[in-house]
Structure 1
Amino acid sequence: MQAFAPDFCATLTDLLTWRRDARHFRTDPLDESMVLELLTLAQLAPSVGNSQPWRFVRVRTPALRAALADHVDAERERATVQITDATRHDAYRALKLHGLREAPEIIAVFCDDTTQAGAGLGAATMPQTRLYSVVLAIHTLWLAARARGLALGWVSILDPAFVARTLAVPDDWAFVALLCLGHPEAVADTPELDRLGWQARLDPLAQISAC
C-alpha cells in the first residue's frame, strides 16, 4: 500500500491534534450540500463484515430539538446533585455540556443491530462490533467536519430510551450518540476540559503496555 506524502501526514497529525469536542456553537446555518457531504464521508468508515449498521437521524423539527435539550438539562441537574465533592460539584456546574439549542445541525446516530448487510460476518461472537463500527463512522464525521472548519460535540448525559422514543425510530435501532454540528464560537489551543481543570490529557506512553 502506497504511503501518503510527508506533508499530508503532517497535516493529518494537525487534524488529529486539533479535533475538539465542542459545546459552544454559532447559530449560522450550514450549507445543505456540506452536511450531506459530511454524512456521506462518515460512511466511508470501516464496519464489521461491511455491515454499515449506522443510521443517521437529522433532528430538523424545533419541538423535537427543544425536547432533547430540555431532557439533557434535566439529566444534568440530576447528575449535579449526586456529586458530593464540593470542588467537583462547582466545576461541573461551570461546564457547558451541550449545544443543542445553538448548533445549526443536530444528528442522532443509531446502530441497526438487525441489519442483513454483511450477513453477520465478524459479529457472531462479538455482536458489539457493530456498535464499534458506528463509533468509527462518528469519528470519521468528526475529522471530516474539523477539516472543513466545523466543530462537533457528542452529548452523552441523556437517557437513550428517551431519545429513541422521542425520535420514534425503529425498536431494533440501538442509540449511540447525539451530535451537535456547526461553526464553533472559538477554537482554543487546549481542549476545554483540560483548560477548565476538569481533566488533563494523560501521558500517551503510559497507556501502552506489552505482554
Structure 2
Amino acid sequence: MTSFNTNERDVLHRILRARRDIRHFRHDSVPEEVLTRMLEAAHYAPSVGFKQPWNYILIRSLDVRRRIKSLFEEANQEELAKLSGDERSDLYKSLKLEGIMEAPLNLAVTCDRDRDAPFHLGQGQMPEMDLYSTCLAVQNLWLAARVEGVGVGWVSIIDPEKTAKILELPNHIQLVAYLCVGYPIEFKDRPMLEEAGWKSRLSLSNLVFEDRWGHSPK
C-alpha cells in the first residue's frame, strides 16, 4: 500500500485550507488538459456501491448561462426578501454570490439516481447515499482545481427544477451542483463570507462529541 511522507501530508492539509469559493474570474479559458485532470480527480471519488453516479455537463453557451443567471437573480431577490428588517440585509446585498457570466466555464454536476438499478448496493437504508457520493466528486474536483490554480464557485441560489429544465435533464437525473469554473482574480487568505463579516469559523472543540450527542470527549 502506498505510504506518504510528512511533506506530502502537509501539502494536502495546505491544499484543504487554501480551497476557496470563487466569485471573481479572469476571462482566460481553462486548458483542456487541466480540465481533464480536474474531471479525472472527480471521477476517482468514493461512491456507495461503487455506483459512480455522476455526470458532468460543460456549459459554455452564453445563452444557457444567461438563462441560469436569470434564475439566480430571481432566487436571490427571494432570499433577500427573507432578510427584510434584518441588520444583515445591506451586507447580503453587497455580497457577490455567483460568477455565472464572468467565468469562462459553467459546470453542472448531476447524479443518476437509476444507475445500477434495480439493486443499489448500500442505499437500502440510506437512499441519499448516491447524492452524497456525488458531493464527494465535487470536492475532489474543487481540490484538484485549487492545485491547478483554477477557481470554483458553487451557485446554490437557483431553482433546481427550473435549472433542470434548461439543461434538459431526464427525470431520473438530479442536479447536485452548479459550478462556475475559471482562473480567479485572486485566492483570498480567508473565505469570502468570513472576510465580509457574515460569519466566523466555528470552534472545532464545540463540534466534537463522544459516544452520544452533546457528550464532550474526555
Alignment of 1:72-151 (within 5 A): 72-116=72-116, 119-151=119-151
Counterpart of 2:19, as a letter, is: R
Distance in 2 of aligned mates of 1:27 and 1:144: 20
Report the Cα offset of residue 188 of structure 1: 1.6
Report the Cα offset of residue 138 of structure 1: 0.1
Residue of structure 2 equivalent to 1:181: 181
Alignment of 1:28-107 (within 5 A): 28-107=28-107
Report the Cα offset of residue 2 of structure 1: 4.3
Distance in 1 of aligned mates of 2:86 and 2:170: 42
Residue of structure 2 equivalent to 1:155: 155
CA contact (8 A) 1:51 1:118 kept: no
Distance in 1 of aligned mates of 2:83 and 2:38: 37
Distance in 1 of aligned mates of 2:23 and 2:59: 17
CA contact (8 A) 2:37 2:144 kept: no
Report the Cα offset of residue 51 of structure 1: 0.2
Residue of structure 1 equivalent to 2:15: 15
Counterpart of 1:157, as a letter, is: I
Counterpart of 1:12, as a letter, is: L
Percent identity reads: 37
Report the Cα offset of residue 77 of structure 1: 1.2
Residue of structure 1 equivalent to 2:206: 206
Residue of structure 1 equivalent to 2:215: none
| Secondary structure of residue in 2 paired with 1:56 | strand
C-alpha spacing 1:76/1:132, structure 2 compared with 1 (3 Å): same
Counterpart of 1:27, as a letter, is: H
Which is helix-richer, 1 or 2? 1
Q: Does 1:193 align with 2:193?
A: yes
* Residue deviations 1:46-83 (CA, integer Å, cap 9, x gap): 00000000111111221101100111012111211221
Counterpart of 1:138, as a letter, is: V
CA contact (8 A) 1:50 1:118 kept: no
Aligned-residue Cα RMSD (Å) equals 1.4
CA contact (8 A) 1:51 1:117 kept: no
Structure 2, unpaired ranges of 5+: 212-218
CA contact (8 A) 1:25 1:182 kept: yes
Q: TM-score, with normalisation over the residues of structure 2?
A: 0.93
C-alpha spacing 1:31/1:117, structure 2 compared with 1 (3 Å): farther
Report the Cα offset of residue 193 of structure 1: 0.3
| Secondary structure of residue in 1 paired with 2:199 | coil
Structure 1, unpaired ranges of 5+: none
C-alpha spacing 1:117/1:148, structure 2 compared with 1 (3 Å): farther
CA contact (8 A) 2:152 2:181 kept: yes
Residue of structure 1 equivalent to 2:216: none
CA contact (8 A) 1:58 1:107 kept: yes
Report the Cα offset of residue 119 of structure 1: 4.3
C-alpha spacing 1:117/1:50, structure 2 compared with 1 (3 Å): farther
